[in-house]
Amino acid sequence: MQKKFVAANDLLLDSFQLAANIHQSGFKPDFLVGLWRGGSAVGIAVQEGLDHFGVKTDHIAIRTSYRGQGSYSKMVNKAGSIRAHGLRYLHERVNESSSMLIVDDAYSTGSSVNAVIKQLAKKSRRNLPHDIRIATVWYRPTDRTIKPPDFFVHETSDWLVLPYELSGMSIEELRQNKAEIRPVIDRLESLIESRKRPAA
């Protein structure tokens, strides 16, 4: 699978574009939920964009399980084992008349979002918001996609490497594809390499 490296500024601009798309649709969410990690960064920009357009949201980040390509694949294959943390704030405040926007940086199968909605439904019961929509910058559809997002900016089949991701990449790969952090890598290369060597 081909890797696509996404630059930090591109992700920020796309996040503002996502906010504009949501606003143009007429959807005005009462709650905005950014999925930690990447959805939090996108969620901040979307919240700021909506606020600028006069849409006030109660916004929060919640966490689900995800760590790199390998564990992502395992997580998708065992969707029932995905846990959402930090839902208490929401289930104490939402009600059936609420609307909610769940934001992530990239969306493929929808397993994480589905887990969030199911666990929120279990805790909130009749108070689950009647209108829950999904927004993402990058949509990567698969044959296991549970439900497509309501809003997205780009569609791709590539494996995305987002600006804040470093794990699983060699120093050379980082140098070639993340030029903006090359000075940091050059300064820390000897420390990084020494940690890879087995202890004497």
CATH number of the domain to which 25 belongs: 3.40.50.2020
**Domain shared by 102 and 193, yes or no:** no
Nearest Cα residue to 5 out of 102, 138, 112: 138
**Domain shared by 125 and 185, yes or no:** no
**Domain shared by 173 and 159, yes or no:** no
Residue 191's pLDDT is 76
What three-state secondary structure class fits 107? Answer: strand
**Domain shared by 76 and 130, yes or no:** yes
**Domain shared by 107 and 142, yes or no:** yes
**Domain shared by 137 and 194, yes or no:** no
Do residues 118 and 110 touch, judged by C-beta distance below 8 A? no
Sole residue written with tokens 């060597």: 197
Residue 122's pLDDT is 93
CA dist., res. 191 & res. 174, Å (int): 15
**Domain shared by 85 and 158, yes or no:** yes
CA dist., res. 127 & res. 160, Å (int): 35
DSSP 79: G
**Domain shared by 152 and 182, yes or no:** no
Alpha carbon distance, N-terminus to C-terminus of the chain: 37
Residue 155's pLDDT is 98
pLDDT in tens, the chain (200 residues): 789 999 999 999 999 999 999 999 999 999 999 999 899 999 999 999 999 999 999 999 999 875 445 555 555 555 557 888 989 999 899 999 999 999 999 999 999 999 999 999 999 999 999 999 999 999 999 999 999 999 999 999 999 999 999 888 888 888 899 988 888 888 887 777 777 666 65
**Domain shared by 83 and 155, yes or no:** yes
Residue numbers of the domain that contains 75: 3-165
Residue 131's pLDDT is 98
Residue 189's pLDDT is 79
Residue 97's pLDDT is 97
CA atoms lying within 13 Å on the CB side of residue 143: 0
Report how many domains make up the chain.
2
**Domain shared by 72 and 157, yes or no:** yes
DSSP-assigned beta bridge partners for residue 32: 59, 101
Residue 90's pLDDT is 95
**Domain shared by 161 and 178, yes or no:** no
**Domain shared by 7 and 45, yes or no:** yes
* pTM listed for this prediction: 0.86
Residue 99's pLDDT is 98
